[in-house]
Amino acid sequence: MNKVRVRIAPSPTGFAHVGTAYISLFNYAFAKKNKGKFILRIEDTDVKRHVPQAEKAIFDGLHWLGLNYDEGPDIGGEYGPYRQSERLDLYRAHVEDLIKKKLAYKDEGAVRFRVPKGETFWQDLIRGEIKFDNQQVKDFVILKSDGYPTYNYSVVIDDWSMRISHVIRGEEHISNTPGQIMIYQALGVKPPSFAHLPLLRNPDRSKISKRKNPVALSWYQEQGYLPEAVINFFCLLGWSHPQEKDVFSIEEFIRYFSFDRISTSAPIFDLRKLDWLNGIYIRKKSNKELVQLIKPLLPKKMPTALIDETIPLVKDRLVKLSGYPELVDFFLNEPKVDKTVLIRKGGSDKKLIKEQLIKGTEVLVAVKSWKTPVLEKAFRNLAKKQNYHVGKFFMVTRIAITGKTATPPLFETMAVLGKEKTVKRLRMTLNNL
């Protein structure tokens, strides 16, 4: 037990949960910091709730985040099998041993553990000493009448037989720990060390759930969150960087990781913080890298050349990769120009707006070199000559050619759109005004 061995043991009942990823990260970091092993075990004895494809979702989710485990159902290992459903004989054998020692007894087809008198306590690595009066715990079922073990029993047999040295899990398991320690003691073996992480909470302090927040890890991948940003976000949930940094790599997290830096107060799962982090990591990517990351999220009709041209224009405004199509849709499709918005943003003088569209079009028709600096110079000269308010004049032009009030820089947008489309859109807006 001198070697650090930690595990996560999710149930495949639907999808890979963000809570599983959060707990996995802390286990992974502790294992890497101590040159130990990180193990994935599947707790699939809840037959009614088992979803076959959920296992793959767990494998894929952890690999997407880079939390690659050293042993598991899909890769094997020295202490397998790594699915509970394949370990039933082991559970039954130890139950028989407990019955022989009169530490457990049969009850209506099931088997109950006989809770001893006294106190059960442990030194939690995050919370300090925790004590329970054994009188608070009734004799509990360890083997159900259908032959399947209960959680509190099977987890002990699994952790013991897999040589788990530290159990790092959510605080909802604190109440399970006394019963598990009793079983370790009944088996005559030393329990692992326990560390109970704080529960994730919504901004209103309620427990994170699918009713209030997207909790499927796949949703974050589909939305275009970068795995580095998600990992960085999870690091900040209950743990603080010694230099009070918000942005750092997983390698840095591992280097500074310690249980002393984990708070017992519930961290807030705030998607706004994740959005902010994701934007930072997007801007760290090269344009070439972003093109490759965004392509799988795009409609097939979008030309590669257009993606290459527009990525630099929208990079600073991207929060999630999935937001890219909306930022550039006007390059592909004719925009719908809201006349009310155009007039309000243009200064409410319809006659002046018409004049600006006419003169702006004339200037663009005369432009020979369709380059960003040339276009900007031509428009600034026109604004100065006609005494136009620059901001309102540019806004009128922006809305007329894109249908939006917020876009990538106006003249870079014109340059990518091309002369024909830009002039055509200005004229269409003018005709409809």
User: Which residues on adjacent β-strands are paired with residue 195?
Assistant: 168
Ranges of beta strands (E only) in 263-415 are none
Could you tell me the sign of the dihedral formed by the alpha carbons of 292, 298, 301, 306, in that order?
A: negative
Model confidence pLDDT, tens digit, residues 239-265: 999 999 999 999 999 999 999 999 999
Does 192 have pLDDT greater than 70? Answer: yes
Categorize the per-residue pLDDT at 274 as very low, low, confident or very high, splitting at 50, 70 and 90: very high
Q: How far is CA 129 from the centre of its chain?
A: 32
Model confidence pLDDT, tens digit, residues 35-61: 999 999 999 987 777 777 889 999 999
DSSP string, 263-287: -SSPPB--HHHHHHHHHHHHHHS-H
Mean of pLDDT over the chain: 94
pLDDT at residue 207, as a whole number: 83
Residues acting as catalytic residues: 210
CATH domain 334-432 topology: Arc Repressor Mutant, subunit A (1.10.10)
Does 1 have pLDDT greater than 70? Answer: no
Q: Where are the domains of the chain?
A: 87-197, 286-328, 334-432
DSSP string, 79-138: T---BGGG-HHHHHHHHHHHHHTTSEEEETTEEEE-PPSSEEEEEETTTEEEEEEGGGS-
Categorize the per-residue pLDDT at 297 as very low, low, confident or very high, splitting at 50, 70 and 90: confident
Q: How far is residue 235's CA from residue 238's CA, in Å, rounded to a whole number?
A: 7
Quote the percentage of the chain above a pLDDT of 70.
99
CATH domain 87-197 topology: Rossmann fold (3.40.50)
Hey, what amino acid is at 176?
A: N
pLDDT at residue 45, as a whole number: 82
Could you tell me the sign of the dihedral formed by the alpha carbons of 84, 89, 92, 98, in that order?
A: negative
Q: Which of 419, 429, 207 is nearest to 336 (CA)?
A: 429
Does 416 have pLDDT greater than 70? Answer: yes
pLDDT at residue 196, as a whole number: 98
Does 335 have pLDDT greater than 80? Answer: yes
